[in-house]
Amino acid sequence: MSDQDAYLEKPIIFIGPGRSGSTIISEFIMVHEQLAWPSNYLEMYPYADWSNYLRIVFDNPFWRITAEKGQFYNTRLFNSYLPFPAEAYTFWERLSRDEVDFSRGFLLGDVATADEKKKIRAVFANLVKAQGRERLALKTTGPGRIGYLQSIFPDAIFINVIREPAATVRSLLNVPFWKDLGMHQLWWTGAYSEAEKQYYQTIRHDAKLSTTFQLEKILCTTQQEAEQCNANVTTIHYEDFIANPALIVEQILRISGLSPSKWINRKLETTPVHNRNSIQRSQFAR
């Protein structure tokens, strides 16, 4: 096994519809000391490979200063300047070939070319090495993109995070991005038949129906891809995580072959976990 292959052995890839809870669940896992990931710096500056070395500056065997998700509690003054895991779609757009719309495409049936795979694997291997870690972790939301990602990382372990559909729809309807861009148009492309497109035009002005229609397509195509690709996919329910975060984290660690981590245990002890389903349900009822 080459050094590059060693860095990319069994990468952990979190997938799931937006607002499904994949961010909070993946953040618990990504504090693991073995894991490297694309950061917010690569999201802002997709060609700034040098930014991977920032991880060592703030997070090393001598000290660990990590960013926290500032949703319900105060964070450090310079929290937003610290490296933290990001989906980094602009980074992916840099790496994938022009025909691949990684940020908005379902990518059903798409696979990386030999040159594309070689390029992407080299960049991610260097990312893991520069961050001083042993293994790669990623997160994307929206369509699963399982076939395309598996063509690059054949032994990938996918963690598919899903949430009660009604709660996911409620959450999407509250997000400015979705209100502006996805509420009344098919935001993700490449999976709808002509009949589905025509039907959508009859419901696109109804925010709830439009959002539900797109969510159902993501859930169905992700399941179909997982089966067609015979991928190593484990589905995690947000509601189970809320009920017992430690149990679900332990399950993901076991599935991923990761050792227990004092940093994950510390995060479990210090990070509050809120049931957003009940909060949004009460807000919707007002």
Burial class for 257, CB neighbours closer than 10 Å (0-12, 13-18, 19+):
exposed
pLDDT of 77 reads: 59
In this structure, how many other beta carbons lie within 10 angstroms of the beta carbon of residue 10?
15
Rg from Cα positions in the chain: 19
pLDDT of 274 reads: 83
pLDDT of 72 reads: 46
pLDDT-based confidence at residue 132 (cuts at 50, 70, 90): very high
pLDDT of 281 reads: 55
Mean pLDDT, residues 212-234 taken together: 98
Write out the CATH class of domain 3-165+232-285: alpha beta
pLDDT of 277 reads: 76
pLDDT-based confidence at residue 191 (cuts at 50, 70, 90): very high
**All residues at 6 or more sequence positions from 40 whose CB lies less than 8 Å from its CB, including other chains:** 83, 84, 85, 86, 88
Q: Of the segments 71-75, 97-101, 280-284, which one has the largest average pLDDT value?
A: 97-101
What is the phi/psi pair of residue 190, to 5°?
95, 15
Distance between CA atoms of residues 32 and 279, nearest Å: 29
pLDDT of 282 reads: 52
Average pLDDT of the chain, as a whole number: 93
DSSP label of 12: E
In this predicted structure, the answer to whether residue 145 has a pLDDT above a threshold of 80 is: yes
Q: Which residue is associated with the tokens 């990938």? A: 156
**All residues at 6 or more sequence positions from 231 whose CB lies less than 8 Å from its CB, including other chains:** 146, 150, 156, 158, 225
In this predicted structure, the answer to whether residue 172 has a pLDDT above a threshold of 90 is: yes
Mean pLDDT, residues 253-274 taken together: 94
pLDDT of 12 reads: 98
pLDDT-based confidence at residue 286 (cuts at 50, 70, 90): very low
Mean pLDDT, residues 146-162 taken together: 98
Q: Which residue has the higher pLDDT, 28 or 75?
A: 28
pTM exceeds 0.85: yes
Q: Which strands make up the sheet holding 157-162, listed edge to edge?
A: 35-36, 135-139, 12-15, 157-162, 232-237
Q: Which residue has the higher pLDDT, 174 or 66?
A: 174
Distance between CA atoms of residues 95 and 25, nearest Å: 26
Mean pLDDT, residues 128-146 taken together: 97
In this predicted structure, the answer to whether residue 73 has a pLDDT above a threshold of 90 is: no
Mean pLDDT, residues 140-160 taken together: 98
Cβ atoms of 10 and 236 within 8 Å: the answer is: no
pLDDT of 75 reads: 57
Task: Please name which of 83, 75, 148, 61 lies closest in space to residue 113, comparing C-alpha atoms.
Answer: 148
In this predicted structure, the answer to whether residue 138 has a pLDDT above a threshold of 80 is: yes
Q: Which of 38-47, 56-65, 214-223, 250-259 has the lowest mean pLDDT?
A: 56-65
Distance between CA atoms of residues 52 and 40, nearest Å: 10
In this predicted structure, the answer to whether residue 111 has a pLDDT above a threshold of 70 is: yes
Maximum distance among all alpha carbons in the chain? 59
Distance between CA atoms of residues 122 and 162, nearest Å: 31
Distance between CA atoms of residues 20 and 35, nearest Å: 22
Cβ atoms of 125 and 3 within 8 Å: the answer is: yes
Distance (Å) of CA 257 to CA 128, 252, 279 = 17, 8, 34
pLDDT of 2 reads: 82
pLDDT of 74 reads: 53
